[in-house]
Amino acid sequence: MSTATATKTTTYNIDKAHSEVTFQVRHLLTKVRGRFAEFEGAIEYDEEHPDNSKVSVAVQAASIDTSERDRDNHLRSADFFDVEKYPALTFNSRAIVRKAMTGFDVTGDLTIHGVTRQVTFDVSFLGKAKDPWGNERVAFEAEATINRKDYGLNWNAALETGGFLVGDEVKVSLSVQAVPAKA
């Protein structure tokens, strides 16, 4: 006789006011940092069996902000994100593997500029708590490094000293607080 054990899976929605999606890429000699202001996502979190959890995130490409208007407009153009044709960047998990008590590899499909590639994010579970108003919250941080050219973001400018203006590797970071979805 087998006994089924019920697990508690809770769906959380990203709290945009307490979360961020950021990136950094080499530009000439330094790194340019930026963020996306508009995003949403859901985490179906199975606390007892995190490997059964799921994550989905959608980022509005036009909300890119590097604190430089001309650069942001160039990034929105067909040279990079082509936001008119490809308005969203999306991630949908396929597998979650625990690698430490609070660490996970979350592998899934990342779609940018109409191209989908499998990417693994290094994720840390920061905890679960109630805020001063009694609302339950969970928090995660995630990082991955991708090659922008894998997604068709090929624009660059050659430097007269050799090399190129924009690096190929982009570090993507998410810092997320999430609250239970309303039923």
Question: Quick one: average pLDDT of 56-65?
Answer: 97
Per-residue confidence (pLDDT) for residue 183, from 0 to 100: 64
Q: Is the pTM higher than 0.85?
A: yes
Kindly indicate the confidence band of residue 170, based on its pLDDT and cuts at 50, 70 and 90. confident
What is the Cα–Cα distance from 151 to 111, expressed in whole angstroms?
8
User: For the domain bounded by 9-180, which CATH number is listed?
Assistant: 2.40.128.110
Percent of the chain beyond pLDDT 90?
63
What is the Cα–Cα distance from 154 to 78, expressed in whole angstroms?
10
> How is the chain split into domains, by residue range?
9-180
Kindly indicate the confidence band of residue 164, based on its pLDDT and cuts at 50, 70 and 90. very low
Minimum mean pLDDT range among 60-64, 71-75, 93-97, 163-167: 163-167
Question: Quick one: average pLDDT of 122-128?
Answer: 95
Residue 44 has pLDDT above 80, yes or no: yes
Per-residue confidence (pLDDT) for residue 116, from 0 to 100: 97
CA angle 11, 175, 168 (to 5 degrees): 120
